[in-house]
Chain A
Amino acid sequence: MYDTVKKIPITLATIAIFLTLLHYSLAFGSNVTPVKGDVLPEIKITVPQNATDRSYLGLERSGFFKIPQIKATIVIIEIFSMYCPYCQKEAPEVNRLYSIIEGNADLKDKIKLIGIGAGNSSFEVEVYKKKYNVPFPLFPDENFSIHKCIGEVRTPYFLGVKINDDGTHRIFYSQLGKFKGAEPFLEFMLQISGLKQEK
């Protein structure tokens, strides 16, 4: 009995050291912001319940999905927050980007737009979606798990991902900051992704 009691601090210390190492590996190991040429970190997102969003992304009915499973050639990801003044200010212009893409028969099936609400609950994401009439799918990241995976970037942050026919993918754009208008942004995305030449 005495021996067991004696072992408690050692067991506690072992667990604590393990958790510390885990914390630091999460904090400083995998949590690097992906750059051009990288693949996305392992991110799993819940398939939207909303049929319109599911259809837009070409996803199955339930479960989780990974971003490269979206039926598109290019996926533009906006890391936003309901609490971010720049995201709020730029929301109408990002919506316009969506409208331009959806209004272009050549692009609408090739480019998809999603938003990930860093640290936002489902409720907070819905508030933002309703406030700014965001027409594309937004996903909550309530406990910052996705946000941590991509290096805890400031918001708004944009990632451009190109999905190849064989299912592999590469990041072609990774940028913090102000969105300088829907048209120039789209033009730039088309150029640097190589989609313009493929058209």
Chain B
Amino acid sequence: MKKHAKFIVTLSVISIFLYSATAFCLSDAFKNNIYNTGLLKPTDSVLKVKVGDIAPDFSLPVVSGGKISLGKYRGKKNVVLSFVPAAWTPVCSDQWPGYNIVEDIFDKNDAILLGITVDNIPTLFAWTNQMGKLWFPVLSDFWPHGAVADRFGVLRSDGLSERAIFVIDKEGIIRYIGVGDINKRPRLEVLVNELERLEK
């Protein structure tokens, strides 16, 4: 009976997990080049920072060349860090192209967006080219692998990063952290609301 019950409970958990599968929509811009990761564990890391902390500084290579450090915006701009798990995957490919048409919202809130993934520069170059010309820098946290994601506590056990958003004010203080279900695109309005709460 015990064995039987174990089987039933396992089956139940698997079934409920399957039922909660999420949908996504892909732009034809990526043709058939998106790798379907299937449904991933929603989150798989433990945050190492919290709202109110000074954001850890970092310097990362940018797809367009050179390096960008977070510290360069201190006292000048609010900063949004958008970590997405990986290039050429379903939800990630449909997240930044949306941010690409709301530069005015970032401007209005005196904010810059930094897109970050754990992919290397050549991969990010090819991937972001499919999105059109992005107005914001895209940074590679490839080597040491995911080191920046790890400092924020959003590096997953499989080497991907979480789908995470950090809003950092001009003083370098973290004002918002959103680590959502990796399988879902975060709602734009949540980010916009957080930006509008910042002092300009």
Query: Which residues of A pack against B, CB within 8 Å?
Result: 9-10, 12-13, 15-17, 19-20, 22-23, 27, 81-89, 118-119, 121, 123-124, 127-128, 131, 143-144, 147-148, 152, 154-156, 176-178
Contact = CB atoms under 8 A, between A and B. Distances in A.
B16 interface: yes
Contacts of B11: 13, 16-17
Given A81-B94, A88-B100, 13 more contacts: A12-B12, A16-B19, A22-B19, A23-B18, A27-B21, A82-B188, A87-B27, A119-B23, A119-B185, A131-B102, A152-B23, A154-B26, A155-B25
A121 B190 CA distance: 11
Contacts of B25: 81, 83-84, 118-119, 144, 147, 152, 154-155
A24 to B, nearest CB: 8
B5 interface: yes
Contacts of B14: 16
A84 B94 contact: yes
Contacts of B9: 9, 12-13
Nearest to A10: B8
A12 B5 CA distance: 11
B98 interface: yes
A154 B15 contact: no
A83 B185 contact: yes
A176 to B, nearest CB: 6
B188 A85 contact: no
Contacts of A22: 19
Contacts of A10: 8
B158 interface: no
B187 A155 contact: no
B40 interface: no
B97 A123 contact: no
B69 interface: no
B4 to A, nearest CB: 8
A128 B105 CA distance: 13
B28 A178 contact: yes
A16 B97 contact: no
B12 A88 contact: no
Interface in B103-117: none
28 contacts: A12-B9, A12-B12, A16-B19, A17-B15, A19-B15, A19-B19, A20-B18, A81-B27, A83-B25, A83-B98, A84-B25, A84-B94, A85-B27, A86-B27, A88-B100, A88-B132, A119-B23, A121-B188, A121-B189, A124-B98, A127-B101, A131-B101, A143-B23, A144-B24, A148-B23, A152-B25, A155-B25, A156-B28
Contacts of B28: 84, 86, 154-156, 176-178
B23 A147 contact: yes
A87 B101 CA distance: 12
Contact of A124 (B16, B21, B23, B187): B187
B43 interface: no
Q: Which of B21, B97, B185 has the most CB of A within 10 A?
A: B97
A161 to B, nearest CB: 21
